[in-house]
């Protein structure tokens, strides 16, 4: 008797409730790739993903127990994973008040470091890879991981930690799982970026524009398509890192 073909393994994307994460989930799903999109709070973009048929997993990354609960939901939704994309992120200038800055640092640590660290451990066995056809983990960090900005010091430090975790995982999980890093630069502006800040960023970017989410998705697809790349740090920044600003 012919055995039924196994369903394609899914790509799990954290922080897919808005912006880059939602964009990646939408476009990978539209291309026929099963996707599990994690989100913390419902948005118009999660509603659109649900309407398109994307599997959604809700949960926060406030503590280890909450992160483990998200992993359990992912395992229930898709026992086989093609890739994990650690996209969830928190970003703002470091708070001025000491205790507020400490709370902010704790939040950034749990989102940028503890969650990826624990999810990699809990979901590694679900990644359907082999030495011939490895699965993937992608850590999305920031060009500031290498060249921190003092006004974003806690953000930069925890993104650097996320990057270092990726390099450790690349050693530990080979050859069945590849682990690579994407460093976005000026992909899009936040609402609180004023005109002067935007002009300053563009002046420090050799390609003189923001890249948009499509540039990151292109890098993701390149990693997924390359079976002989692990431990790489790929900057997608329009050359911004070259200026040191």
With bands split at pLDDT 50, 70 and 90, how would you rate the model's confidence at 244? confident
Residues pairing with 38 in the sheet: 57
Comparing C-alpha atoms, which of 231, 220, 196 is closest to residue 84? 220
Structure tokens at 160: 């650097």
H or E, element range at 160: helix 153-173
Which of helix, strand or coil describes residue 158? helix
| CB < 8 Å & 24+ apart, contacts of 155-159 | 155/90, 155/91, 155/92, 155/94, 155/108, 157/105, 157/108, 158/105, 158/108, 158/109, 158/111, 158/112, 158/113, 159/112
The DSSP annotation for 45-58 comes to HHHHHHHHT-EEEE
Structure tokens at 4: 């039924």
**Residue range 201-243, pLDDT digits in tens:** 889 999 999 899 999 999 999 999 999 999 999 999 999 999 8
155 is catalytic: yes
CB 13 within 8 A of CB 36: yes
**Residue range 28-79, pLDDT digits in tens:** 999 999 999 999 999 999 999 999 999 999 999 999 999 999 999 999 999 9
> Who wins on pLDDT, 98 or 2?
98
SS3 of 177-218: the string is: EEEEEEEECCCCCCCCCCHHHHHHHHHCCCCCCCCCHHHHHH
The model carries a pTM of 0.95
Structure tokens at 146: 């290498």
Ordered domains of the chain (ranges, CATH): 10-240 (3.40.50.720)
Q: Token match 């650690």: residue?
A: 86
CB 107 within 8 A of CB 33: no
Burial per residue of 67-81, b for 16 or more beta-carbon CB atoms within 10 angstroms, e otherwise: beebbebbbeebeeb
């Amino acid at each position: 008797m012919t055995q039924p073909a196994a369903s394609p393994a899914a790509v799990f994307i954290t922080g897919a409730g808005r912006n880059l994460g939602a964009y990646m989930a939408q476009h990978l799903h539209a291309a026929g790739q099963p996707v599990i999109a994690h989100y913390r709070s419902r948005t118009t973009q999660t509603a659109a993903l649900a309407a398109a048929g994307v599997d959604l997993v809700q949960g926060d990354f406030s503590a280890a127990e909450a992160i483990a609960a998200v992993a359990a939901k992912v395992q229930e939704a898709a026992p086989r994973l093609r890739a994990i994309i650690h996209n969830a992120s928190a970003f703002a200038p470091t708070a001025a008040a000491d205790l507020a800055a400490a709370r902010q640092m704790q939040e950034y640590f749990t989102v940028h470091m503890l969650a990826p660290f624990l999810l990699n451990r809990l979901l590694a066995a679900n990644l359907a890879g082999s030495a011939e056809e490895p699965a993937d983990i992608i850590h999305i960090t920031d060009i500031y991981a290498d060249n921190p900005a003092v006004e974003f010091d806690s953000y930069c430090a925890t993104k650097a930690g996320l990057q270092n975790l990726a390099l450790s995982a690349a050693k530990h999980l080979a050859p069945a799982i590849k682990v690579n890093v994407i460093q976005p630069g000026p992909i899009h502006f936040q609402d609180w970026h004023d005109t002067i800040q935007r002009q300053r960023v563009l002046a420090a970017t050799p390609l003189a524009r923001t890249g948009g989410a499509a540039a990151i998705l292109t890098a993701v697809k390149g990693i997924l398509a390359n079976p002989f790349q692990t431990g790489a740090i790929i900057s997608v920044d329009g050359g911004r890192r070259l200026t040191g600003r």
